[in-house]
Amino acid sequence: MPELSFQYPSWFLVLCVLLGLGYASLLYYRDVTFVEKPLLYRRFLFALRWIVVTLISGLLLSPLLKRTVIEVRKPVITLLQDQSESIGGELSGEVLTQYRQDWQQLKTVLSDRYEVRELAFGDQVRDSVDFDFRDKVTNLSEAVQEAHDRYGAQNLGAIVLATDGIYNEGSNPVYGKSAMNVPVYTVALGDTTPKKDLFLKRVFHNNIVYLGDRFILQVDVAATNCAGSQSVLTIGRREGDRVENLQTIPVNVSGKDFFVTKTVELETARPGVAQYVVSLSTIPGEVSTVNNTRELFIDVLDARQKILLLANSPHPDVSALRQMLDLNKNYAVTVGYAGMPGLDVSKFDFVVLHNLPSRSNDLSGVFRVLDERRIPRLFIVGMQTNFSALTQVQGLVVAQSDGSQSDDVQGVVSKQFASFSLDTRLASELPKFNPVVSPFGNFNETPIGQVVLRKRIGKVDTDQPLLVVGEENGVKTGVFIGEGLWKWRMFDFLQHQNQDIFDELMGKTVQYLSLKEDKRKFRVSLAKTVFNENEQVLFSAELYNDNYELTNDSDVSLSVRHVDGREFMYTFNKSGKAYALDAGILPVGNYTFKANTNFNGQSMVYEGRFSVRPLQLEFFATTANHSLLRQLSEQSGGVLVGGSGLMGLAEIIQQKSAIKPVLYETKETSPLINLKWIFALLAFLLTLEWFLRRYFGAY
C-alpha cells in the first residue's frame, strides 16, 4: 500500500487549504465581476479554484510517495560443458548427436521452472556451447568459480558440470569454497578404463638459460598396461625441418602402472629460441601416440649482466647486496676486494664500490678504466671512505667530512624523485627501519644529482641526501652515504618475514643505474618471446621524434614470417601516443618479424623473433576421473549421473525443494510531483474553470 510523507510538518497542509480558500474567496466573492452570476455557478468555480490552489501549494511541500515493490526471481541453473580435446575423443559421431539432443532437451525442460544459463569452458569460460572440443587445457576450478561469480548473487540454485574429471590447469575443484554454496550435479563423460598407453607425463626445464651454460631436463615417463614393453627416450634439437639427436636413453617398462624419471643434461649452442624434441618410441597396441612426443622452447640469452661488488674490506653489506642481486637471474655477481691481483673491472657491466676510494686504496687506475669504458657504478660511502677523493671521482655529491664521527640515520623517500617508481609501502615502512651509520659532515647534492632518499636523524627530517642517483658525462652513477645496509635487510625480514622492501629499493636502484638505455627512435616489443599456441601474440611499438618525444603520426606495418616461409602482414593500431597490435593466435613454430615505418622522410626498421609452442596437455591423461566428480557432487549436495542420464537429471533437480524462487522486496520513494496524472488533473481543472468563465462571459 503506497504511503505519503512530507518533508515539512503535515500541519502545513492546513495552511495550503486556507491559502486556496482565501484565494478562491477573493476571486469569486470579493470581485464584482461575478456578483451578478448565479450562486451555483459561482460556487462551482469557487470550488475549482480552491482545489487547484490547494493542490499546487501542497505540492510545494515536496510530498513523497513510498511504495513496496515485490519481484519474483526464478532460481538460476548453470550448465557447464567441458569443451577440451579430451572430451572430443569420446563424444563423436552418433554419440555426439544424441548427446547434443539430450543437452538441448535438458535446457528446454529446466527453462519451464528455472532461469537457465549455459557456459562452455576449457582454455577459458565463455557463454556459448558449440561442442567443437578444441580447447587445449581444462580448468575445472575456474569454471565452477566463474559460475558462482556470475550468478551467485542472482539466486543460483544449482550447477550442472559435464566433464570427464580431467583437469590440467588450476586447482582441484573439490577444495574450492565457492562450489560448496550450491549443489553441483556432475555429468560423467569419458572412459575410466585404463588403456594401453606409454606417454611423457611431464618435462621440467628452465624457460631461460644462458649461452655456454649447461641445463637439466627432467623427463617423467609413465605407462599403463604396458608391462614388459621396451622403448627409447630420445632428446633432439630441431634446426628447421631437421632434428639433431643429442641423447638416447632406453626405457624398460615394468609393472601395470609404470613411472620413472630420467634426467638429461644439455648444453646451449647458440643464442635465440632453441627448440628441443623429447620423444618416446612407440610400442605395439598404444591407444595414442600423440602423447609420446613433446616439443620444448627454451630462450637462450646471450649473456648475463656481470656485476662486481668491489669492497675495501670484508663487510656484511657486501653479503646483503649479493643475496639481493642473486635473486635476479639476469645478474652474474662477483665479489672482489681492493688490491686483489688479476682483477679486471673492464669485464664487468656494473660496479658497486663499498668504502672506496678509501684512505689506503684510491683506485685511480680502476676509476680510469671505469671512465674509459663508461661503466655505471654505485658508491656505498662508509667510515673508511676517502671523502676528498670521493668528491673527485663523482659529481653527484659534494662531501666534506674527516670521517672521524658518524650519525645514525634513517631513510625518507624524497617526494620530488621520479626517475623510477617506488611502492607506497616502501615509503611508509622505510623510515621505521633500524638506522644505518652515516659519516658526519656536510653532504650536498649537485644540480645533476637526483635525491632518492634523505636523512632522518632521530625524529628530524633533514635536507641532507642519503641516496643520490644521476648521469654524469653519459655514465649513470649512484651514491649511498652510509653503511649498514645489512641491518635494513635483516629488519625487513624480522618485521615482514621477507626482504621485499629492501630488495625493491636496492634492486630498482641497481636496475636503474645498470640499465643500458635504448637510444633507437623506433622500437617494437613483445611481452615475452615464447607463447603457447592458445595465446594471442601482442605487439607494442614506440616512435620518437628528434626531441625523443613519443609520436604516432606515421603508420607502422609489420611482417611476421614463419620458419616454413608463411608470411602474415599487419598494420599497427594507434593507441594514445604509441602503437599496439593484436596478431591473434598463430600456428606453432619459430617466427621472425620486421616492422617498418617512414618518419620525416627517414625509413626505420625494427627486427625481432619469437616462438609459438604447442600445448598437448589434453593427450597426457586419457583416463576419465569420475571419482573426483562423485566427490564434488557428494560434498556439495548434488548427484553424479552418466552422459546418457541428462534427462533424468532434470527430474532430480526439480525434486530439490531447496531450489525455489526468491521474493525480493524493494522500497521505492519518488516525489509525488513526478506523477503525470497529478499534472493531468491540475490541467483539467484549470481548463474546465477557464472554459466555464469564457462560456458565461466572465474574463
In terms of Cβ atoms closer than 10 Å to its own Cβ (0-12, 13-18, 19+), residue 687 is: exposed
Residue 622 lies in a domain: no
Q: Please give the pLDDT value at position 567.
A: 93
- b/e string for 415-450 if b means 16 or more Cβ within 10 A? eebeeeebeeebbebbeebebbebbebebebeeebb
| Structural domain count, the chain | 5
Let me know whether 283 and 320 are in one domain: no
Residue 659 lies in a domain: no
Cα–Cα distance between 645 and 27 in angstroms, integer?
83
> What pLDDT is recorded for position 34?
63
Which of 278, 299, 320 is a domain's end point?
A: 299
The answer for residues whose C-beta is within 8 angstroms of residue 573's C-beta and 6 or more apart is: 579, 580, 581
Q: What is the pTM of this model?
A: 0.54
pLDDT in tens, 505-541: 999 899 889 887 666 889 898 878 888 888 899 999 9
Is 623 a member of any domain? no
The pLDDT score that the predictor gives to residue 485 is 93
Same domain, 390 and 450: yes
The answer, yes or no, to whether residue 39 has pLDDT greater than 90, is no
**399 & 508 share domain:** yes
Residue 484 shares a structural domain with residue 355 = yes
Q: Which of 299, 314, 345 is the last residue of a domain?
A: 299
Q: Given its phi and psi angles, is residue 277 left (phi above 0), alpha (psi -120 to 50 degrees) or beta?
A: beta
**pLDDT band at 94, cuts 50/70/90?**
confident
Cα dihedral 326/327/329/331 (nearest 10): -40
The enclosing domain of 286 has a CATH number of 2.60.40.10
Does the structure show a pLDDT above 90 at 37?
no
Q: pLDDT category, 225, cuts 50, 70, 90?
A: confident
Domain end point (choices 488, 514, 540): 514
The verdict on residue 663 lying in a domain is no
Cα–Cα dist 295/640, whole Å: 37
In sequence order, what E strands does 167-268 have?
184-188, 197-204, 208-210, 214-224, 230-239, 242-252, 257-267
Q: Are residue 111 and residue 154 in the same domain, yes or no? A: yes
Place of cell 659529481: 395
Verify that 346 and 472 share a domain, yes or no: yes
Q: Over the stretch 326-384, which tens digit does the pLDDT of each residue have?
A: 888 778 899 999 888 888 899 999 999 999 999 888 888 899 999 998 999 999 999 99
Residues 157 and 37 occupy one common structural domain = no
Question: Is the domain of 333 the same as that of 450?
Answer: yes
CATH of the domain at 500: 3.40.50.880
Q: What is the CATH number of the domain that holds 550?
A: 2.60.40.1930
**Which pLDDT score, from 0 to 100, does residue 557 have?**
95
Report yes or no on 295 lying in a domain.
yes
Closest by alpha carbon to 351, among 288, 393, 303, 410?
Answer: 393
Question: Does 619 fall in a domain?
Answer: no
C-beta separation of 627 from 188 below 8 A: no
- CA–chain centroid gap for 110, Å, is 37
Task: Please say whether the beta carbons of 654 and 45 come within 8 A.
Answer: no
Same domain, 378 and 343: yes
Average pLDDT over residues 39-43: 74
DSSP state, residue 190 = S
For residues 312 and 454, state if they share a domain: yes
Between 178-192, 537-551, 597-611, 639-653, the lowest mean confidence (pLDDT) is in: 178-192
Looking at residue 678, what is its pLDDT? 83
Tell me, yes or no, whether 481 and 505 share the same domain.
yes
For 560, the domain range is 522-613
Cell readout for 250 is: 632406453
294 and 610 Cβ atoms separated by less than 8 Å = no
Provide the pLDDT for residue 518: 65
Q: How confident is the model at residue 324 (pLDDT cuts 50, 70, 90)?
A: very high
DSSP 8-state class, residue 30: I
Does one domain contain both 237 and 265? yes
> Does residue 620 form part of some domain?
no
The reply to whether 477 falls in a domain is yes
- The domain that holds 157 is classified in CATH as 3.40.50.410
